[in-house]
A and B are shown apart, each in its own frame.
Chain A
Amino acid sequence: QKVSLEVLDHLEHLALVDFRDSEGVERLQKAIQFADQLHEVNTDGVEPMDSVLEDRWCLYLREDDVTEGNCTKELLENAREKVEEYFVAPPGNIPLPKLEEREAFLQGS
């Protein structure tokens, strides 16, 4: 079963991944086929497992104390742009080109 252009476009919007060319799309389809093998197992009436550790994986509860923070300088060191200790980002979300607008979209996918 081939992945339709609409689904491909939708996936690219969701994950900000660029499948780029037919080889990328082919790899995607193989990955889907691989994962589809899971459907061969009948899981009716079986509770999904969260971890192989089962009950032995206990959620650790932390006391409500302030132990971190106050490292503005360090955090901003990685920022390409900053304005008075704020991170700088583009205005809102930049929309990806619509399906119809894309040039030279994957031919024969």
Chain B
Amino acid sequence: LAPWIPVVGLEIHAQISSNSKLFSGSQVQFAAPPNSLVSFFDASLPGTLPVLNRRCVEAAVMTGLALNCSINKKSLFDRKHYFYADLPAGYQITQQRVPIAVNGSLSYSLCIDNKMSQMVTKTVRIKQIQLEQDSGKSLHDDTRSQTLVDLNRAGVGLMEVVMEPDMCCGEEAAAAVRELQLILQTLGSSQAVMAEGQLRVDANVSVHHRGEPYGVRTEVKNINSIRFLAKAVDYEIQRQIEELENGGTILNETRAFDSKLGCTVPMRDKEGKQDYRFMPEPNLPPLILYDAKSLPANMNHQQVINIDWIHERLPDLPRVKREKLVEQYGILPEHSFTLLNEDGLAEFFESVVKQTQMKPKKVIGWILNDLLSYLKQHSLTVKESPVSSFLLADLLNLLEKKEISSTAAKRVLAELWKGEGKTPLEIVKEQKLELLQDQKELEQICQAVIDGQENEVIMMVLG
């Protein structure tokens, strides 16, 4: 049987981190009283008009630059029409014809065979990034046969990042999204917390045989975490392969991932192909961006967005941060991945290194094995750690100066986790863990042991 080649593309919606919405001045906030963060425009009352939020444009430009995209100096807004209760206008303002950024790439890393020590770098092409409005939220009340609508989210700015179908499995999709999440968080353009709906991923999946054209693809929605993304994609690939091998066909449909059952199911309410009747948004002229060369002389600064100015101020991206950690501290690449994967861990590590004479290559073991595993066991974030970088550095100094053994250090650490406010030195003294340095004292102890075990000593001497 010829092997199947799975093809996976992703459409990712990232909520822009801003105070107010994309086209109105109402607040952006998770979990507020229903319909309290809604302006007349968001509710689509007649006579209201969209006014573009500068911060949202900057967020999209930053993201485009970080993903190696070409930024379109002129981009356009369009209306995408469909009817749903949480879309009061009957259309969404998006960028269908000419989006703000195109043709980028994202590099991400994978462990081969689950071994941290063997990592490969892969690249996925970014087709485009577009600015668009988020919709409101529908709460389905099946018992009373009604839908409750909250428009707090309606109009919040989104960046839709479209990744080309360059991925082949759940693991790759998950790794790509994880890296994108880290980039967005580093830039600050989105907080990208999936659990709060700030990052939503839809997967496009198909399979085909080598040399043959791509198969029919399905769209998988309702994926709520990176872990579920990998599961959903892998399940859908398997489902399609089984269907085809049994002589069936794949429908070009939208399916929802059911996390409880671990499978994808067809979605209701999506019968037939949608015709969105795209048209230019008549209330918004083209969005013009400038760079150092094209900067107009006499324009109000507040009305000008300079791509080069933004580019110069981009922070170090995760990839660069990792390289710097490896170079500066001599740690392994896989260590740098773990450091960046945990919020605040890299900073904690660097703080400890500054405060101790112990070499970074040794410190990293204490951070990744001892500190991190403890935090994971107790579901704590680095910020919530009862052991501060100061305390840990203090402990490592005792070890480095050979005042205690490695085993003793682990015992002191176990005591420090209790967060009772004792210093490492106090614990060492309490539990009498000091290493004996005095030769004479050591001899006395050894002699005492030998004296106390005369029989065993005779047996040993006799061989």
Residue of B whose beta carbon sits closest to that of A55: B288
Taking a contact as CB atoms closer than 8 A, the residue among B19, B33, B38, B83 that contacts A65 in the complex is: B19
Q: Say yes or no: A89 contacts B20, CB within 8 Å.
A: no
Interface assignment of A90: CB less than 8 Å from any CB of chain B: yes
Q: Scoring A residues 62 to 78 as 1 if CB is less than 8 Å from chain B, else 0, what string do you get?
A: 11111111111001100
Residue of A nearest to B277 (CB): A14
Chain A: which residue is nearest B76 at the CB level?
A50
A86, B150: Cβ atoms closer than 8 Å: yes
Q: A66-B27, A85-B35, A89-B147 are in contact. Are A59 and B275 (CB under 8 A)?
A: no
8 A Cβ contacts from B47-69 to A = 51-57
How would residues 62 to 87 of chain B score, 1 for a CB under 8 Å from any chain A CB and 0 otherwise?
00000000000000100001011100
Q: Evaluate whether A64 and B303 lie within 8 angstroms (CB atoms) in the complex, with A50-B76, A85-B33, A88-B148 already known.
A: no
B19 touches A64 (CB 8 A): yes
Given the contacts A61-B57, A83-B148, A93-B84, A68 and B26 also touching, CB distance less than 8 Å = yes
A69 CB contacts on chain B under 8 angstroms: 25-27, 36-39
| Assembly CA distance A92 to B145 (angstroms) | 9
* Complex interface: chain B residues within 8 A of A93 (CB): 83-84, 269
Inter-chain contacts of A66 with B (CB < 8 A) = 19-20, 25-27
Closest to A78 in B: B45
B44 to chain A, nearest CB (A): 11
Q: Is the CB of A91 within 8 A of B35?
A: no
A60 CB–B CB distance under 8 Å: yes
Q: Which of A14, A68, A86 contacts B39 (CB 8 A)?
A: A68
**Contact between A67 and B25, CB atoms less than 8 A apart:** yes
A58 at the interface (CB under 8 A from B): yes
Q: Which of A37-65 contact B (CB under 8 A)?
A: 50-51, 53, 57-65
The size class of the interface chain A forms with chain B is 35 or more
CB under 8 Å from chain B, chain A span 12-45: 14, 16
Say how far A80's CB is from chain B's closest CB, in angstroms. Answer: 12
Q: Is the CB of A61 within 8 A of B54?
A: yes
Chain A residues 85 to 105 lying within 8 A of chain B, measured CB to CB, are: 85-93, 95
Check A85/B39 contact, CB under 8 A, given A67-B20, A68-B25, A95-B271.
Answer: no
Complex: how many Å from CA A14 to CA B145? Answer: 24
B33 cross-chain contacts in A, Cβ below 8 A = 72, 85
Cα A92 to Cα B140 with chains together (Å): 8
- In the complex, the answer to whether A63 meets B54 with C-beta atoms within 8 Å is yes
Would you call B52 and A58 a contact (CB within 8 A)? Answer: no
| Chain A residues whose C-beta falls within 8 Å of the C-beta of B52 in the assembled complex | 59-62
**For residue A92, which residue of chain B has the nearest CB?**
B269
Tell whether B149 is near chain A: CB-to-CB under 8 Å: yes
Q: Which of B20, B81, B150 has the most CB of A within 10 A?
A: B20
CB closest chain-B residue, reference A14: B275
- A62's contact among B27, B53, B269, by CB below 8 Å, is which? B53
Stretch at the interface among B207-215, B246-254, B278-286, B442-450: B278-286
A6 on interface, CB distance cutoff 8 Å: no
Report yes or no: A75 in contact with B271, Cβ–Cβ below 8 A: no
Q: Do residues B53 and A64 form an inter-chain contact, with CB atoms below 8 A?
A: yes
**How far is the CB of B25 from the nearest CB of chain A, in Å?**
3
| Docked complex Cα distance between A64 and B149 (Å) | 26
**What A residues does B53 contact at CB under 8 A?**
61-62, 64
Residue of B nearest to A89 (CB): B85
Give A16 Cβ to nearest chain B Cβ, in Å: 7
A59 near B34 with CB under 8 A, answer no
CB of B17 to closest CB in A, whole Å: 10
Contact A91-B284, Cβ < 8 Å, known A63-B54, A66-B25, A85-B33:
no
Considering the complex, give the chain A residue whose CB is closest to the CB of B137.
A86
Residues in A with CB closer than 8 Å to B277 are 14
CA distance A65 to B302 in the complex (A): 14
Residues in chain B near residue A90, CB distance under 8 A = 85, 145-147
Hey, what's the 0/1 contact readout for B9-28 against A, CB within 8 Å counting as 1? 00000000011100011110
Q: How far is the CA of A89 from the CA of B37 in the complex (A)?
A: 19
Complex partner residue of A57 from B18, B37, B40, B285, CB under 8 angstroms: B285
Q: Contact: A64 with B55, CB < 8 Å?
A: yes
Point out the residues of chain B lying under 8 angstroms from A84, CB to CB: 34
> Are B285 and A58 within 8 A (Cβ)?
yes
Residue B43, interface by CB 8 Å: yes
Cβ A91 vs Cβ B20 within 8 A: no
Pair A86/B145 contact, Cβ less than 8 Å: no
Report if B398 contacts A (CB, 8 A): no
Ordered by A's residue number, 30 sampled pairs between the chains whose C-beta atoms are within 8 Å are: A14-B275, A53-B285, A59-B52, A59-B284, A59-B288, A60-B303, A61-B52, A61-B305, A63-B55, A64-B18, A64-B54, A64-B55, A64-B56, A65-B25, A67-B20, A68-B24, A68-B25, A69-B27, A72-B35, A75-B35, A75-B38, A75-B40, A85-B36, A86-B35, A87-B148, A87-B150, A89-B149, A91-B141, A91-B142, A93-B84
Interface residues of B (CB under 8 A from A): 18-20, 24-27, 33-41, 43, 51-57, 76, 81, 83-85, 138-142, 145-151, 268-269, 271, 275, 277, 280, 284-288, 302-303, 305
Those 3 A-B pairs whose CB atoms lie nearest each other, nearest first: A67-B25, A89-B85, A69-B26
Known: A14-B277, A61-B302, A72-B33. 5 other contacts (CB 8 A): A66-B19, A66-B26, A69-B25, A69-B36, A92-B269
